[in-house]
């Protein structure tokens, strides 16, 4: 009974609200947005490319040192973590309002721009909430905190997923009307006030920090210039391959991103050489967390990073096509809202609680393996659904199984990443891990629409299940040679 009661203490309950704040924007960037774009007449391949807004989550390591090392000159009474957290939440609300007043049918560029801004601030909020959670409790309590965080996260996905689609259906979506989606996104912005409330009532983690006021502005400007350089170069390099050349486009995009990363790094080097960028601060902010991780895990650090980069690949690559698949299969928006975004979320929360409790009782690595296995196998059910006749019962079965497995795997993975994180570099290291987790899956997911065009849904879903198999081998190997070191 004591193990169950731990879920109802103050810190886990507050974590539900912060999890809600973290989970609300994500579907408005991806899933709900995809329905909006499809209804606006945007092509399937273009809709899936919008998943690249998720690179804000994949690249958040670039600005996570600012969150760890730069003390805001405003909101000082809230403390370091909470002042940053409140700022990010207010900026998310602003981005949602801007998105609400855009119209992808008339000007897709502005919709893409505001969604990218929303993703950026949402990723920044995630950096802060992850650090806040890890710093608020010791490792043995991370299971309950992670489960409650995921519960709040999934409840927010219920609101942003089922809730937004129900609202859209209520306001009318048979004929495209931008005002429908404006109302939806404005209403969603109001729900972010739950996160604002949680920030005010939560306690600042009792972690001693030494902030140096020297070179803060130069450090901030240096990182900003490097990020702008990354974006500028990326925009200059055009993809020479057509939509049908999916593999070539994927390989080209991968190397384009690598080149842009190198360019951003060279900008930092140049700024250090001309003695504008503070060398010691940049080295401590970026290299310190990496060297700390390598020191703790040695030659096995690469294996762990490889596992992190591949663990959610089956879920993410499949998930970007889910709503498009439901619509093209013939299911109605109201049915998607009810069974995928409503009951599906409860199934995910249930799976998350099982995953968190199982990790607490049986150990993280065992649950990590089981989560990866059922997450990959659940994708095969989508392949079966693709060749089956339209049936609400079939839809409910597949969605329930997929969401339970996703919730279980997600809880186990969050606990694993929390255990890998050093308290000395909480925000930066966790941001690094979650960035690595998303980079390859998001890159592949951007071409999911093209893959479906080439091979069809049954083979596509089967392929995503196959992508999860190497993860199982990695988990078995790592559990033997590289246990978690706090």
Per-residue pLDDT reduced to its tens digit, 322-362 = 878 888 888 877 777 777 767 777 787 788 888 878 887 88
Query: What integer pLDDT is reported at residue 5 of this predicted model?
Result: 47
CATH number 2.60.40.1180 given to 17-214+278-481: no
Query: What integer pLDDT is reported at residue 2 of this predicted model?
Result: 45
pTM of the shown model: 0.69
Lowest mean pLDDT among 32-36, 105-109, 251-255, 339-343: 339-343
Query: What integer pLDDT is reported at residue 210 of this predicted model?
Result: 60
pLDDT at 97 over 60: yes
Query: What integer pLDDT is reported at residue 95 of this predicted model?
Result: 94
pLDDT at 4 over 50: no
pLDDT at 227 over 80: no
Q: Give span(s): CATH 1.20.1250.20, the chain.
A: 17-214+278-481
Confidence band (pLDDT; 50, 70, 90) for 484? low
Query: What integer pLDDT is reported at residue 93 of this predicted model?
Result: 96
> If you average pLDDT over residues 169-183, what whole number do you get?
80
Q: Which of 167, 62, 484, 118 is nearest to 308 (CA)?
A: 484
Say which residue, 327 or 3, is predicted with more confidence: 327
Query: What integer pLDDT is reported at residue 215 of this predicted model?
Result: 57
Please state, as a whole number, how many other Cβ atoms lie within 10 Å of the Cβ of residue 221.
Answer: 13
> If you average pLDDT over residues 5-23, what whole number do you get?
73
Say which residue, 129 or 66, is predicted with more confidence: 129
Q: Give yes or no for a contact between 209 and 80, defined as CB atoms under 8 angstroms apart.
A: yes
Mean pLDDT of the chain: 80
Query: What integer pLDDT is reported at residue 170 of this predicted model?
Result: 84
pLDDT at 486 over 50: no
Confidence band (pLDDT; 50, 70, 90) for 86? very high
What would the pLDDT profile of 126-158 be if each residue is shown by its tens digit? 888 888 887 776 555 666 677 778 788 878 888
> If you average pLDDT over residues 202-229, what whole number do you get?
70
For a pLDDT cut of 70, what percent of the chain falls above it? 86
Say which residue, 246 or 298, is predicted with more confidence: 298
Angstrom distances, CA of residue 413 to CA of 39, 356, 443:
35, 10, 20
> If you average pLDDT over residues 166-174, what whole number do you get?
77
Confidence band (pLDDT; 50, 70, 90) for 187? very high
pLDDT at 485 over 60: no
Say which residue, 78 or 196, is predicted with more confidence: 196
pLDDT at 292 over 80: yes
pLDDT at 59 over 80: no
Query: What integer pLDDT is reported at residue 302 of this predicted model?
Result: 85
Confidence band (pLDDT; 50, 70, 90) for 21? very high
Lowest mean pLDDT among 25-34, 167-176, 267-276, 324-333: 167-176
Confidence band (pLDDT; 50, 70, 90) for 7? very low
Confidence band (pLDDT; 50, 70, 90) for 12? low
Query: What integer pLDDT is reported at residue 125 of this predicted model?
Result: 92
Dist. CA 468–CA 113, nearest whole Å: 32
pLDDT at 1 over 50: no
């Amino acid at each position: 009974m004591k193990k169950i009661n731990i879920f109802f203490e103050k810190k886990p309950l507050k974590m539900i609200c912060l999890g809600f704040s973290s989970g609300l924007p994500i579907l408005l960037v991806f899933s709900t947005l995809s329905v909006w774009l499809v209804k606006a007449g945007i092509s399937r391949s273009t809709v899936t490319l919008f998943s690249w807004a998720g690179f804000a989550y994949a690249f958040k390591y670039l600005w996570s040192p600012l969150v760890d090392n730069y003390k805001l000159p405003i909101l000082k009474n809230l403390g370091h973590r909470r002042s940053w957290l409140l700022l990010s939440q207010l900026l998310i609300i602003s981005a949602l309002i801007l998105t609400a007043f855009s119209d992808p049918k008339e000007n897709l560029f502005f919709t893409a721009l505001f969604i990218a801004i929303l993703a950026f601030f949402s990723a920044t909020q995630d950096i802060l909430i992850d650090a806040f959670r890890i710093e608020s409790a010791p490792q043995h309590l991370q299971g309950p905190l992670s489960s409650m965080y995921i519960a709040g996260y999934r409840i927010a996905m219920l609101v942003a997923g089922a809730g937004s689609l129900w609202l859209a259906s209520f306001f009318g979506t048979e004929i495209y009307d931008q005002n429908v989606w404006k109302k939806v996104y404005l209403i969603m912005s109001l729900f972010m006030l739950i996160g604002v409330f949680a920030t005010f009532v939560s306690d600042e983690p009792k972690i001693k920090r030494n902030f140096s006021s020297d070179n803060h502005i130069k450090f901030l400007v240096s990182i900003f210039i490097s990020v702008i350089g990354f974006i500028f170069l990326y925009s200059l390099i055009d993809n020479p391959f057509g939509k049908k050349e999916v593999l070539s486009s994927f390989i080209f995009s991968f190397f384009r991103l690598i080149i842009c990363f190198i360019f951003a790094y060279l900008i930092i080097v140049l700024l250090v050489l001309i003695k504008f960028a503070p060398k010691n601060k940049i080295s401590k902010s970026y290299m310190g967390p990496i060297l700390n991780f390598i020191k703790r895990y040695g030659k096995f650090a690469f294996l762990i990073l490889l596992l992190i980069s591949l663990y959610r690949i089956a879920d993410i690559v499949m998930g970007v096509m889910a709503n498009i698949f439901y619509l093209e299969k013939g299911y109605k928006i109201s049915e998607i809202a009810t069974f995928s975004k409503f009951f599906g979320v409860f199934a995910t929360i249930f799976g998350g609680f099982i995953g968190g409790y199982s990790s607490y009782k049986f150990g993280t690595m065992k649950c990590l393996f089981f989560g990866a296995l059922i997450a990959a196998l659940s994708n095969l059910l989508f392949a079966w659904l693709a060749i089956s006749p339209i049936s609400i019962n079939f839809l409910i079965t597949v969605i329930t199984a997929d969401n339970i497995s996703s919730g279980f795997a997600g809880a186990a993975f969050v606990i694993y990443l929390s255990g890998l994180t050093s308290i000395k570099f909480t925000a930066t290291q966790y941001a690094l891990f979650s960035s690595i987790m998303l980079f390859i899956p998001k890159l592949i997911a951007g071409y999911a629409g093209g893959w479906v065009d080439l091979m069809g849904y049954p083979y596509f879903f089967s392929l995503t299940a196959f992508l999860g198999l190497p993860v199982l081998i990695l988990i078995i190997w790592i559990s033997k040679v590289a246990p978690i070191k706090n």
